[in-house]
Structure 1
Amino acid sequence: MPGIVIVGVQWGDEGKGKATDLLGERTDWVVKFNGGNNAGHTVVVGDEKYALHLLPSGILSSGVNAVIGNGVVVDLEVLFAELEALQARGVDTSRLRVSANAHVITHYHRTLDKVTERFLGKRQIGTTGRGIGPAYADKINRVGIRVQDLFDENILRQKVEGALDQKNHLLLKVYNRRAITCDEIVDDLLSYADRVRPLVADTSLLLNDALDAGEVVVFEGGQATMLDVDHGTYPFVTSSAATAGGAATGSGVGPNRLDRIVGIVKAYTTRVGSGPFPTELFDESGEWLRSRGFEFGTTTGRPRRVGWYDAPMARYATRINGLTDLVLTKLDILTGLERIPVCVAYDVDGERFDEMPVSQSDFHHATPIYEYLPGWTQDITGARTFDDLPVEAREYVLALEAMSGTHISVIGVGAERDAVVVRRDLV
């Protein structure tokens, strides 16, 4: 089964990079199919910790081909800064390929992202201000700049002029900011043309050829199900397709090539930015989880909002993505709790919802209905088989599995690369 999709089940930061890394030497290709540098993976290799924002985490695995797919928006400054940082630490980045059809983030996208968010005031979405949303908006409005446009200055200049015609009116008349000239954008983008040219390829063809040859291709989703622009907590979502279906459109392979869909879920829940979060904690328990789990954004450094495990949300993600497996991460963080709450349903104005409400308004007003499972005190970071775990930890995992609607195949028990319990192989 060569096509494996890895997606987040919650609001991101679940540890998708660790799951990709777990596949290791058996993986031939790793593809990032959505998002930009607004999300990060933290991957620990031995004593080394790597924080990746735009690059697929598979770039850290020797011999693996890394691909930035057509569904990604690329900040070229960030791309080359990350590559240079990895090269300085001895990482081979020569196997990276970038889709010619991927869209480019420009200076005006970053500017608009920041001023628009400030303009919203109390209605802010909670974006990272890195230009991701405006770049995707231009893509949909058919005024975007693609990587391939950097190789034809006349085409590039025409497209930038067309985009700035509208954007400068906004900047001047609505946001009271200076106009941006076409020359400054074109000159900036062209400064990367010779550097990016060797990386650019027809990545759809490369990936389909690899699948035809029986090679293992891992499709690595940025953000997560609940941030998907269609299926997430809209409008507090990202601007791309972060679910398993996005792997096909964002990489140029057919959905029938996707054999296994792996969801990554924390043993509790976190999110960054605004939006509803039924199990969110505002008390000492929340501070305990945040500090124990070091819940701060890889890209932004912002403290993450934290809460208990949400089983209806996990079932929703299982259904939306067609999950075949779950990877449960950070189980070790719960060690020391006498009992562990798990959200099994919601209360909305006195009405019980066993599944996620279809109405966003209802979800905003939902309060969790909890069941309490026994905790454990034993250190589990050395566990490598399911039987190594304390009975209470095993029962917690099995309870979440039953509530979430699919098999928990891998359990993360620590930050180290090999700190996992494998119940069923992912390949």
Structure 2
Amino acid sequence: MSVTVVLGAQWGDEGKGKLVDILSGDMDICARCAGGNNAGHTIVVPVGEGTERVEKTFAFHLLPSGLVNPKCVGLIGSGVVVHLPSFFAELDALQAQGLDCTGRVFISDRAQLVFDFHQIVDGIKEVELGGSSIGTTKKGIGPAYSGKASRSGLRVHHLFDHATFAAKFRKIVEGRFKRYGSFEYDTEGEILRYKELATRLRPYVIDSLTYLHTQLSQKHARVLVEGANALMLDLDFGTYPFVTSSSTSVGGVCTGLGIPPKMIGKVVGVVKAYTTRVGRGPFPTELLDDVGTHLQEIGREFGTTTGRRRRCGWLDLVVLRHSCLINGYDVLNLTKLDVLDDLAEIKVGVGYEVDGEEVRGFPADLDLLARVTVKYATLPGWKTSIAGARTYDDLPAHAKAYIAFIEDFLKVKVEWIGVGAGRESMIRKSVT
């Protein structure tokens, strides 16, 4: 009984969705364990047969990306927060694109609900923070997790006792009015709206704990866990407070799905060949010059969920070493290597110093982090397109040297190498 896990190793947007799509072709279940519709995975896959076969782009936010594969079930686990209108809008959009998800999507009855008032509060809190705002997606994720932690949230199963749901909902909204003022919100209209949504939702709701363990133990199901966000946005180990509101680490897999660590067989860390992040927060290797703009434009660095332009910089191996310590990656997936094709030289962050003294580990103190000087190693670029490469041997020597440098520093092998957007643009390298 083993589970394969795919996790973001940096600040998110590493391209996890493509590997999840590839791996889920051999999986029975693809599960989400944390986060909400603040995540964004873009999948480009060929659809149809023969001359009618065309590439389609699917955008996933809340639903597991593995649904692109017609035999794979998508499971939204207990650790996820769910905004039902967004769930159905995403599901309907996928269906309209020809992706039949009938009978293949399930939601845990323990998952917390995100309401529109959470999204309103999210925006109010950002305004309150002013110049210190986090730069959230304003999807209501933080306020929903806050309600969960303060034991004032509502879960999926609450929807099916309408009278109790309505009473609890009114009390929660009234509490938000007391804290944030009487913002415009139709409480009674929302209660009626969720009565209708509950009817539509019922066929999707299951006891995910029983379902998952039954599938693993009795049916020997192959399970793939799709991480949302990434380690550096983890509530405990990321660049707090510029983080998300859940555990994005391998620990969140266990708590968000209710599976013990011994069931996890393989952990894959997804690493972009350079570094990006969205929103505010520290970014030691950020590039504010023409190279940063080049990475942004060639890499099409715009958020799937928000459309926001991503900040870009050199690969930071101090960040990745920190990430490896926590998540214990068995192998890595290096993505978007082709974005570096035109660079004559490539820098890699290999250490931090403050006042000439080496900094051990990744600093928890953001004031200290703001003072670090990054030590770089400089490697030669390959100055040729690798978009057509389909095997490791197809890569130029300098591209192989870049991969080897990363492996030697982190002591973790790179098994997968992304050289383009499509499903076919993923090289698998032997790691034995």
Give the shorter-chain TM-score range: over 0.9
What code does the residue aligned with 2:356 have?
A: G
* Range with greater deviation from structure 2 (126-135 or 177-186): 177-186
Deviations along 1:225-265, whole A, 9 cap, x unmatched?
00010110000000001111101111121121111111000
In structure 2, the partner of 1:14 is 14
Deviation, structure 1 residue 357: 2.4
Distance in 1 (CA, whole Å) between partners of 2:385 and 2:106 is 42
Distance in 1 (CA, whole Å) between partners of 2:263 and 2:45 is 30
Q: Secondary structure at the match of 1:55?
A: coil
What code does the residue aligned with 1:134 have?
A: P
Deviations along 1:133-192, whole A, 9 cap, x unmatched?
0000000111101111110012212321331232111232xxxx4364542332222120
- Is the 1:315–1:405 Cα contact (8 Å) retained in structure 2? no
In structure 2, the partner of 1:131 is 140
Deviation, structure 1 residue 90: 1.3
Which residue of 394, 405, 419 maps to 2:400?
Answer: 394
Which residue of 253, 262, 283 maps to 2:268?
Answer: 262
In structure 1, the partner of 2:178 is 169
In structure 2, the partner of 1:296 is 302
In structure 1, the partner of 2:206 is 201
1:236 aligns with 2:245: no
Distance in 1 (CA, whole Å) between partners of 2:157 and 2:392 is 49
Deviations along 1:287-317, whole A, 9 cap, x unmatched?
0000010000001000000000001111111
Deviations along 1:54-104, whole A, 9 cap, x unmatched?
111011111101001111111111100111111111111120000001111
In structure 1, the partner of 2:422 is 416
Distance in 1 (CA, whole Å) between partners of 2:328 and 2:214 is 25
- Is the 1:312–1:354 Cα contact (8 Å) retained in structure 2? no
Q: Secondary structure at the match of 2:57?
A: strand
What code does the residue aligned with 1:121 have?
A: G
What code does the residue aligned with 1:130 have?
A: K
Q: Secondary structure at the match of 2:247?
A: coil
Matches within 5 A, 1:74-223: 74-94=82-102, 95-172=104-181, 177-178=182-183, 180=185, 182-212=187-217, 213-223=219-229
Matches within 5 A, 1:298-313: 298-313=304-319
Distance in 1 (CA, whole Å) between partners of 2:18 and 2:326 is 22
Deviating 4+ runs (over 6 angstroms): none
- Is the 1:157–1:182 Cα contact (8 Å) retained in structure 2? no
Deviation, structure 1 residue 425: 7.9
1:384 aligns with 2:363: no
1:375 aligns with 2:381: yes
- Is the 2:331–2:414 Cα contact (8 Å) retained in structure 1? yes
Distance 1:422 1:157, change over 3 A: same
- Is the 1:227–1:238 Cα contact (8 Å) retained in structure 2? yes
What residue ranges of structure 2 are gaps of 5+ in the alignment?
Answer: 47-54
What residue ranges of structure 1 are gaps of 5+ in the alignment?
Answer: none
Q: Secondary structure at the match of 1:380?
A: coil
Distance in 2 (CA, whole Å) between partners of 1:272 and 1:404 is 25
In structure 1, the partner of 2:64 is 56
- Is the 2:24–2:224 Cα contact (8 Å) retained in structure 1? no
Distance in 2 (CA, whole Å) between partners of 1:116 and 1:168 is 13
Distance in 1 (CA, whole Å) between partners of 2:331 and 2:161 is 45
What code does the residue aligned with 2:209 have?
A: S
Distance in 2 (CA, whole Å) between partners of 1:31 and 1:119 is 35
In structure 1, the partner of 2:359 is 353
In structure 1, the partner of 2:320 is 314
In structure 1, the partner of 2:279 is 273
- Is the 1:12–1:223 Cα contact (8 Å) retained in structure 2? yes
What code does the residue aligned with 1:203 have?
A: S
Distance in 2 (CA, whole Å) between partners of 1:392 and 1:52 is 34
Deviation, structure 1 residue 353: 2.2
- Is the 2:63–2:76 Cα contact (8 Å) retained in structure 1? yes
Q: Secondary structure at the match of 2:224?
A: strand
Q: Secondary structure at the match of 1:26?
A: coil
What code does the residue aligned with 2:363 have?
A: P
> How many residues get paired?
422
- Is the 1:71–1:251 Cα contact (8 Å) retained in structure 2? yes
Q: Secondary structure at the match of 2:106?
A: strand
Distance in 1 (CA, whole Å) between partners of 2:431 and 2:58 is 25
Q: Secondary structure at the match of 1:164?
A: helix
What code does the residue aligned with 1:390 have?
A: P
Deviation, structure 1 residue 25: 2.1
In structure 2, the partner of 1:65 is 73
Q: Secondary structure at the match of 2:241?
A: coil
Deviations along 1:85-124, whole A, 9 cap, x unmatched?
1111111112000000111111210110011111211010
